[in-house]
Structures are given as structure tokens and as C-alpha cells.
């Protein structure tokens, strides 16, 4: 996948969000019209989809942003600390697998003496920093925000929804238990998740347009 411009990035994020939103709207409509055993079934399906699209969109959008950034060359000193860390992921990995001080000093040397050298954020770095198999609770989500240099504050009020509603209900469904949730609670979960997805999209685009990945001179 090649994402060369902010417009390309926006297109990828929008295309991914549109089909997810349509699918969520469809299950929401079924929940609203159902009752009895059908309601219980649709709640289970709806919760599974809410969580799946929450995790899927956050991870896919993060990857798109990293792919967009990977085309550029930067000097280390131009980047914010989180992106310096991203660009050095390969070196950190080598250090972790080595007990040689000489290997560790190569990273120290870069940070002390070579900040004016050029670097790139590798397009495959997301495989090392965006977990493939993990429950996307608030702790992991806030770590992803930090990795990408996105603001945490717009999402802090959603922490309860993530950790006390979305993830526990998802766990109930995948482990064969019936989640305890009413139509009103499902509606609030739907509203909260769709708001977070749209906000995440917005924050990535703002970051790309403002070049917040670079230090302010």
C-alpha cells in the first residue's frame, strides 16, 4: 500500500471507516427492532462487531499513518522523541538480543553524536509496535496514541467505556457468556465507539497536516 499524500491518507481512513459504520448501523437497527431471544442474539452479535471495529479501525488507521510517514527522510533532531524511538526500533531490537556493550553504544552514539544524520520510519515498523494479538483496552490504546504522537486528552473520558463496558462485554461473548446489557446501554456503547473512531480519524489527519511529528523549531 502506498500513501503518498495527506489526501491519500484521508481517503484510506475514510474508506475504512465508511464500511465499518454501515455495518454497525445495520446491527444497531436490528437491536432496536428485536426483542426476546432475538434481542439477546443481536446484542451478542452487536457487541462482537463493536469491539471488532474498534480494534480493527484503530490498528488499521495507525498502520496507514506509519506508512504515510515512512516515505519521508528526517534528521533525528527534527523528530519528536516518540518518532526517534520508532526510527530506532531495529537498533533497539538488536540491543535487546545482544549482551555486547559495543552494540548498545551504537544507539547511544546516535542519540549523542548523530542527531543531525538522516533517518526513516520503516514501513514495517508497525509490525513491531502495533500489537497483532492483544485486547485493545485503554492502556494499550493510550500507548498507541503515544507511539503516534496523538493527544490523549480527547479520549480520556472514554476510558470507562473501553475498560468497563466494551472489553468486558466482548470477553463475555467470546467466552460463551451472555453479556448483561440493555438496549439503552448498547445504544450508548454504539454512540461512544463510533465517536472514538471518528475522533481517532480526525486526530491522525490533524497530526499529518500540522506535521506534529516534527519538533517545533
Q: CA–CA separation, 25 vs 190, rounded Å?
A: 9
Give the pLDDT score at 96. Answer: 67
Provide the Cα torsion 174, 177, 183, 184; round to 10°. Answer: -80
Give the pLDDT score at 157. Answer: 94
Q: CA–CA separation, 196 vs 159, rounded Å?
A: 11
Give the pLDDT score at 69. Answer: 94
Give the pLDDT score at 62. Answer: 94
Separation in Å, CA 91 to CA 64, 87, 107, 108: 23, 9, 7, 10
* SS3 letters across 75-143: EHHHECHHHHHHHCHHHHHHHHCCCCHHHHHHHHHHHHHCCCCEECCCCCCHHHHCCCCCCCCHHHHHH
Based on its alpha-carbon atoms, the radius of gyration of the chain, rounded to whole angstroms, reads 20
Give the pLDDT score at 147. Answer: 92
Q: CA–CA separation, 147 vs 142, rounded Å?
A: 9
Q: CA–CA separation, 11 vs 28, rounded Å?
A: 25
Q: Are 204 and 150 in contact (CB under 8 A)?
A: yes
Give the pLDDT score at 207. Answer: 96
Per-position pLDDT tens, the chain of length 217:
789 999 999 999 999 999 999 999 999 999 999 888 888 899 999 999 999 999 999 999 999 999 999 999 999 899 999 998 888 877 777 676 777 787 778 777 777 888 888 888 887 777 777 877 689 999 999 999 999 999 999 999 999 999 999 999 999 888 888 887 888 899 999 999 999 999 999 999 999 999 999 987 6
Q: Is the pTM of this model over 0.85?
A: yes
Amino acid at each position: 500500500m502506498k500513501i503518498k499524500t495527506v489526501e491519500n491518507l484521508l481517503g484510506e481512513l475514510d474508506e475504512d471507516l465508511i464500511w465499518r459504520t454501515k455495518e454497525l448501523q445495520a446491527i444497531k437497527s436490528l437491536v432496536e427492532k428485536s426483542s426476546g431471544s432475538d434481542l439477546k442474539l443481536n446484542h451478542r452479535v452487536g457487541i462482537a462487531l463493536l469491539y471488532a471495529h474498534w480494534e480493527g479501525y484503530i490498528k488499521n488507521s495507525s498502520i496507514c499513518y506509519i506508512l504515510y510517514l515512512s516515505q519521508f527522510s528526517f534528521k533525528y533532531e527534527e523528530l519528536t522523541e516518540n518518532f526517534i524511538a520508532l526510527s530506532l526500533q531495529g537498533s533497539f531490537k538488536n540491543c535487546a538480543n545482544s549482551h555486547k556493550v559495543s552494540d548498545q553504544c551504537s544507539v547511544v552514539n546516535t542519540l549523542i553524536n548523530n542527531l543531525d544524520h538522516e533517518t526513516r520510519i520503516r514501513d514495517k515498523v508497525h509490525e513491531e509496535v502495533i500489537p497483532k494479538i492483544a485486547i485493545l483496552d485503554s492502556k494499550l490504546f493510550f500507548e498507541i496514541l503515544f507511539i503516534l504522537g496523538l493527544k490523549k486528552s480527547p479520549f480520556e473520558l472514554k476510558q470507562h467505556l473501553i475498560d468497563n463496558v466494551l472489553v468486558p462485554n466482548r470477553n463475555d461473548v467470546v467466552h460463551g457468556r451472555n453479556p448483561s446489557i440493555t438496549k439503552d446501554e448498547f445504544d450508548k456503547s454504539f454512540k461512544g465507539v463510533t465517536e472514538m473512531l471518528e475522533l481517532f480519524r480526525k486526530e491522525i489527519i490533524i497530526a499529518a497536516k500540522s506535521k506534529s511529528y516534527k519538533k517545533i523549531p
